[in-house]
Chain A
């Protein structure tokens, strides 16, 4: 069974790959319609993440 740490690493790598994919899409590798769609999805997703996940208290 994967440990919590490993799971988090998988999540992180997935997020990174998704980021790369979005970059390629927005830069227009798959054409303009996909670029526009990709941009809209990314921005909406970013807005959702910023609103839904409250920022924590600093503990440094």
Chain B
């Protein structure tokens, strides 16, 4: 029983769930900035209000799993990404409170919507920054972070930030096509037509740039070339299909394609990172906590996660179908 491997799989699982679930939440938030009509904005927020909290909880799960199972990686990565993580936390904070505060205030609703949108945008950017920072590599000395907190503000992380921004916009637009009524369909389709190709283009630039500046990435492409090439191909096809989708297409298709894009992207990233957890210096096994700790996390995860998934799915099911025009209280 390779506990570190198992723990890393669970970590990857929680991160994937987070990116997909909060991805569309943040995506809707980003798109909010481009929606001038207040009732339309209300409708957009209504579509994510009942389930956003559960979605966001997956990032806490990921962070805490890292702390519990790979404390050495946690203690290296968090100081390394100090600035983007704190900015992300503040941004998520603004996004979170805006849910409640915007309904309390008629006069300042626009202001809170901007807070909501900017919070979502900054959070997405910062998350992308962290992914890029991981690819770029972190300076480690003697199992402690030894670089500068400003290392993150270099081209690759910045490009990754923009990539994720468009990626979340794709997910958000897909979600809106699924959940919103007629008036927003047009807006959602327009958003898709812009964000899908942008996502693909920036993703490509990020991949190429990563190969150029990080020998670790080059090495992984060399050893997993075929698999990665297939993933790239799949990504391109999905992105192309999304861009070329006619307006009247089936409601679930855009969101599903968006999900596919993310699954492909995450798989590729995982292939490049594995078996390190702090690329490219510290392996999973080196960063691991004691087996007693990992064992407890895995037992807890194995027992409780199915229950969590079940009632989370139930919650989504309660709020299934199109979001009501007049909100949930009507």
Task: Please determine if A and B sit in direct contact within the complex, based on CB atoms under 8 angstroms apart.
Answer: no
**A interface with B by C-beta (< 8 Å):** none
